[in-house]
């Protein structure tokens, strides 16, 4: 008796639908993801048991490097009808550099192109005298300058008198946020976050807090990482 031949069926699988789903998922994650912004120094935050999350909008983040240098990062509102991040950064720059120019008439004029470039930058922090030349650098040189020669000048001891440059930036942030009716978000305790390393001396953090309080920013958040059970 001969063997019964089983008709072979095609093993071809149409992957068109799967490809469409993959592209849709990839597009969704690209549009909804928040990419980590590059910081000039690496900071390992101290552990804590607090699970309260720092807001990811309408936030002023103060970054304190291991060497005591201070940087800022400004984030606007996600709601397109409010203050966007790029508009926030651009207006703060105009306000802060305008205040600086009043006491330094010989300072170079800020161009619209430089303001546009600044609005796209995440973490920043250079002395005002170097700001325009820094914005004119290529990205690689800008990052090197920020790491090696950057840092916003800040007063070690807070006294009555003219604002130091760190306070000038903070005041500019207040003016811009109040202009857009977001003043309550800033002074309510969730609008300012301090990020310092777990080995950073408390005296460095204290200097930043003193300067914040001088500008009537008495409530702020300290950024930490979640402590594990072993810790």
pLDDT tens digits, 123-178 = 999 999 999 999 999 888 998 998 888 899 998 876 667 889 999 999 999 999 99
> Partners of 196 in the beta sheet?
64
Q: How far apart are CA 69 and CA 72, in angstroms?
A: 10
DSSP string, 113-153: HHHHHHHT-SEE---HHHHHHHHTS-HHHHHHHHHHT----
pLDDT tens for 39-86 read 766 777 777 766 677 778 889 999 998 888 999 999 998 887 788 999
Q: Is the pLDDT of residue 228 over 60?
A: no
Average pLDDT score over the chain: 84
What's the sign of the alpha-carbon dihedral 155, 149, 217, 51? negative
Domain boundaries, the chain: 47-226
Task: Report residue 34's pLDDT band, with 50, 70 and 90 as the boundaries.
Answer: low
Q: What 3-state class would DSSP assign to 53?
A: coil
User: What pLDDT score was predicted for residue 218?
Assistant: 87
* 217: its two tokens: 């920013």
Q: What 3-state class would DSSP assign to 176?
A: helix
User: What pLDDT score was predicted for residue 222?
Assistant: 86
- Least confident among 8-12, 99-103, 147-151: 8-12
């Amino acid at each position: 008796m001969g063997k019964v031949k089983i008709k072979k069926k095609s093993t071809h699988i149409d992957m068109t639908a799967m490809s469409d789903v993959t592209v849709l998922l990839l597009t969704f994650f690209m549009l909804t993801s928040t990419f980590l912004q590059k910081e000039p120094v690496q900071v390992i935050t101290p552990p804590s048991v607090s699970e309260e999350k720092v807001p990811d909008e309408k936030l002023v983040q103060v970054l304190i490097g291991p060497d005591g240098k201070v940087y800022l990062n400004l984030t606007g509102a996600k709601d397109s009808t409010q203050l966007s991040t790029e508009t926030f950064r651009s207006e703060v720059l105009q306000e802060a550099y305008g205040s600086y120019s009043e006491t330094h008439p010989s300072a170079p004029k800020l161009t619209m192109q430089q303001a546009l470039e600044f609005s796209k930058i995440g973490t920043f922090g250079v002395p005002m005298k170097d700001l325009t030349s820094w914005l004119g650098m290529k990205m690689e040189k800008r990052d090197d300058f920020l790491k090696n020669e950057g840092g916003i000048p800040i007063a070690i001891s807070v006294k009555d008198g003219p604002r130091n440059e760190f306070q000038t930036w903070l005041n500019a942030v207040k003016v811009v946020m109040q202009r857009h009716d977001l003043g309550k978000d800033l002074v309510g305790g969730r609008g300012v976050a301090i990020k310092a390393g777990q080995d950073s001396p408390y005296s460095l953090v204290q200097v930043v807090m003193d300067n914040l309080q001088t500008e009537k920013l008495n409530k702020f958040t300290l950024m930490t990482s979640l402590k594990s059970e072993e810790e």
